[in-house]
Amino acid sequence: MSDIRYDVVHAALNKSYALMDNDTSIDIHKCYEFRKQIILDDKSLTGNEKSYAIEYLTQNYDLDKLTFDEGTKRICENCNQECLATTYCEHCVRNYLKAKFSNWTSGNDVIDNLIKECQMNTIAPNCIPEWIPYNNLQNIEYLTKGGFSEIYTADWIDGTFIEWDSKEQQLIRFGSQYVVLKRLENVENANQSWLEEAKSHLTISNRWSEIVQCYGLTQDPSNGDYMLVMNIYDTDLRKYLQQNHNQLTWKERTQIAIDTINNS
């Protein structure tokens, strides 16, 4: 993919969105087909760039279908269930995660149940929160104090899940990844304030990873503090809405607001 001009591709994607009318923008399928055709007709893009752009559109198409629970379903050739996603089967992904439940534990039933609940509601292979063993994190360094929390950086050895391998029926990881750790203070016995913060991060990330991508939780064995493991570019809701004002439909904005209220 080194031959791809990402700035040109992103400009083409923005153009495909800007050309949509109101009727097209509120229909998930029409939006996808319209933007895909614009990309295919764009003579400024190479074949590889068109493939990359369409892959990006398809990933977002699957996310939209599952987020809003609408669109044409298909029968998965593996589990024989009806699924909405086109590039993977959401049921196969969830079944894979469920089969791994016995392989991990945080040592705290409340936290385990929270992570399991999020995994059983996951809508994409690259939006899956998990319990991350502390020994899977290396080069941990203090970064700053943010609000009431200490912030650290670290290298996550395995990295997050990024895609579903339909042939092998398994999730594929990114590999070594630079992440941010947010220490959660005053969390003895997983008190309500801490639990609500963790739940909010994990649940919103499960559906809107562009706003806040939280990969999961870990625990510092030196003092027992729990820590959120997050993407290095963590942003806030206001900034996300400002930066993506021309990309988000009103339907998406409304759903983000609903999800944020329900988990705040």
pLDDT of res. 235: 45
How does the average pLDDT of the chain come out, rounded? 83
- The fraction of the chain above a pLDDT of 70, given in percent, is 79
The Cα–Cα gap between 21 and 14 comes to 14
Q: What is the CATH number assigned to the segment(s) 93-262?
A: 3.30.200.20
H or E element in which residue 98 lies = helix 90-99
Residue-wise pLDDT for 147-182, tens only, equals 667 899 999 999 999 999 999 999 999 999 999 999
Q: How far apart are CA 175 and CA 133, in angstroms?
A: 15
* Model confidence pLDDT, tens digit, residues 185-238: 654 544 556 677 777 778 777 665 556 688 999 999 998 889 999 987 544 434
Residue among 54, 57, 97, 91 nearest 73 (CA) = 91
Looking at residue 253, its pLDDT comes to 42
What's the rounded Cα separation, in Å, for the pair 235 and 144? Answer: 16
Segment 19-37 shows an average pLDDT of 87
**What is the C-alpha to C-alpha distance for residues 91 and 76, in angstroms, rounded to an integer?**
9
CA distance 214 to 200: 10
